Each structure stands twice: as C-alpha cells, then as structure tokens.
C-alpha cells in the first residue's frame, strides 16, 4: 500500500488522530505499573512513580500513554484481576485529564470495562480480544457511552506468554499474521465497530523467532495493505539484543533505528519506552518527507 493510501484518521476515544495533519507516526509511551516487565519492571510499580514517569512522557510530546498492570514478557506469570486493577486504576484517574490519550494494555474483560469507565481512550490487547468477554466488554462500553468510541489495538501472538517463545513455527509469517489480524478485525466490523477505530499490531517478539521478527520489520509495509493503522512495538525487544549483542538497557540506538525503519514502511503508531529520543528521531524523519508542512 502506498503512503497516500494509508488510513487518514484513527478514532481513539476522546481523540481523533489525523495522520495527514500529523505527518508522523503517533508515539505511544509504555507505562508498566508492574514489578516484572522485561525492560523496566519495578521502576514504576507504585502509582506515584508511574504518574511521574507519565508526566515526563507528556512533557516530551507523547501522543498516547499505554498503561499496563500485568507483564506479558515471555514466561510471565499472570496476576489476579484485583491486583491488576489496583495497579492501573489510580494511574488512570491521575492522568485522565492530562491532555493525551490513555490506553489500557490488558486482555482481561473486566479490566477493560473498569478502565474505560475510568477514562481510557484505547484498549490494547495482546490476545486481540480472544479472551472470554473481551469483545463484549468493548461493545458494552461503546453502547453505554463510556468507551467514547475507544480505539482498539489487535495484536498477533502465537500461543500464550508462557509458551510463545518455545520454537515458534510458521510457513509464511507475513501471510499468517496478516490473515489472523484481518479475521479479528472483520469480527469487530461484523459487530458494528467502525473501521476507523481499529488498529493492528503484528506482535514483534510474541511467538516469533529472530528470523520471523527481522522479516516482519523488513516487510512491515505488507501489514498496511489491510487498511488499518499498523502499530510497531519493537522498543528494546530481544531481537535487537540478539542482533547488536546489547543488554535491554543498552538498546536505545537500535530501538530508534527500528522505529525509523517501521515509519518508513508505513507504521502509523510506534510503541516505545524512550519517548523523548523517539520524538527527536521522528521530527527528523518528518522533516525529510516529501511535501513537508510549512514550519514542521
């Protein structure tokens, strides 16, 4: 799909993002209110620490803050519903009037319901709404007016977080991931969800080998052919460590390079840990695009 055929807008709750006006991918900042996330587990486990980190993201120009209360790293153990709610709801309450969109990173239907009621604008689900009640939670919130036409990010994952990296296998990773995402999006469309609310994520590192991940990045524009905004979540991922030989905290340069590669191949949302550095890179990327906006 050529760049001029990429989706023009994405409805994300209170926000209608206009990609033609923005002329760069949306930056989704990762806020892990967890003790065991692969990159920053424990750094923002208290509500006050998470809120302070979110405010730093806002100052750096973030578009969306993705709040998670349960790690989905390879081998991660699930947490109870109540523990997840205790981690995320105070953060949502503190940030809901911060001027940026809020996303809830969860697969639990009840967490979706309560987060939408509390004020989030987007549901970002690694299970692509396959867990019991998840589709209904999004539909109920929308029909009740609480979801404010929330944005929805559907991600591809082979198996589950506990087993996804045990010898992932594909005949054609691009074709299989595209087929899965297309079918999940079609289910939402059939249930009355507007197309401009749906975004897709091929799921770097979620049941993918290094070879799979590299191919997905090289051919990232293939995912844009489905007609939805495509999210690239590659920040600090293990594939970058395998290629560069760097530990998690030393993958900033590789993460920035991967973001620019994804943007060049049609990514319209990038999910990152390092918001300020990513914004700088995308400002430069934007400046060299054809027909730049005056003053950009």
The tokens for 65 are 């803050």
Strands 64-68 and 151-155: unpaired
CA dihedral 54, 56, 58, 63 (to 10 degrees): -70
Asked if 18 and 238 count as a contact pair (C-beta separation under 8 A), the reply is no
Query: Could you confirm whether 55 is annotated as catalytic?
Result: no
Query: Strand ranges (DSSP E) for the chain?
Result: 9-12, 15-18, 26-32, 64-68, 101-105, 122-125, 151-155, 198-201, 231-232, 269-272
| Residue tagged active-site, from 113, 197, 236, 271 | 271
| Residue tagged active-site, from 87, 108, 237, 265 | 237
Give the position of tokens 């803050």. Answer: 65
Give the position of tokens 């523990």. Answer: 83
Query: Could you confirm whether 286 is annotated as catalytic?
Result: no
Q: How far out from the chain centre does Cα 87 lie? A: 19
Cβ neighbors of 50 (< 8 A, separation 6 or more) are: 31, 33, 44, 67, 91
Q: Which residues pair with 67 in a beta bridge?
A: 31, 104
Q: Which residues pair with 238 in a beta bridge?
A: none
Q: Which residues pair with 153 in a beta bridge?
A: 124, 199
Strands 231-232 and 101-105: unpaired
Backbone region of residue 270 per phi and psi (left: phi > 0; alpha: psi in -120 to 50; beta: other values):
beta
What is the CA angle 238-240-245, rounded to 5?
95
Asked if 208 and 216 count as a contact pair (C-beta separation under 8 A), the reply is yes
Residues noted as catalytic:
237, 271
């Amino acid at each position: 799909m050529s760049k001029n055929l990429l989706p023009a807008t994405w409805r994300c709750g209170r926000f209608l993002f206009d990609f033609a006006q923005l002329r760069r991918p949306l930056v989704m900042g990762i806020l892990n209110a967890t003790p065991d996330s692969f990159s920053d587990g424990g750094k923002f486990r208290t509500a006050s620490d998470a809120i302070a980190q979110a405010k730093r993201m806002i100052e750096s120009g973030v578009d969306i803050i993705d709040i998670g209360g349960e790690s989905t790293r390879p081998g991660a153990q699930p947490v109870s519903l109540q523990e997840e709610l205790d981690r995320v709801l105070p953060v949502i309450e503190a940030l809901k009037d911060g001027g940026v969109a809020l996303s809830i990173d969860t697969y639990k239907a009840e967490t979706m319901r309560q987060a939408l009621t509390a004020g989030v604008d987007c549901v970002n689900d690694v299970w692509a709404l396959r867990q019991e009640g998840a589709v209904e939670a999004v539909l109920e919130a929308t029909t009740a007016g609480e979801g404010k036409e929330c944005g929805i990010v559907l991600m591809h994952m082979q198996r589950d977080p506990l087993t996804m990296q045990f010898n992932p296998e594909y005949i054609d990773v691009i074709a299989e991931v595209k087929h899965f995402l297309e079918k999940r999006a079609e289910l939402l469309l059939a249930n009355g969800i507007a197309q401009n609310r749906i975004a897709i994520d091929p799921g770097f590192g979620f049941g993918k080998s290094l070879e799979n991940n590299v191919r997905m990045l090289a051919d990232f524009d293939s995912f844009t052919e489905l007609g939805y905004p495509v999210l690239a979540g590659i920040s600090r991922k293990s594939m970058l460590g395998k290629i560069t030989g760097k530990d998690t905290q030393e993958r900033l340069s590789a993460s920035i390079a991967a973001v620019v590669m994804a943007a060049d191949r049609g990514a319209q949302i990038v999910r990152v840990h390092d918001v300020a550095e990513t914004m700088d890179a995308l400002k430069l990327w934007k400046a060299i695009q054809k027909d730049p906006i005056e003053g950009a």
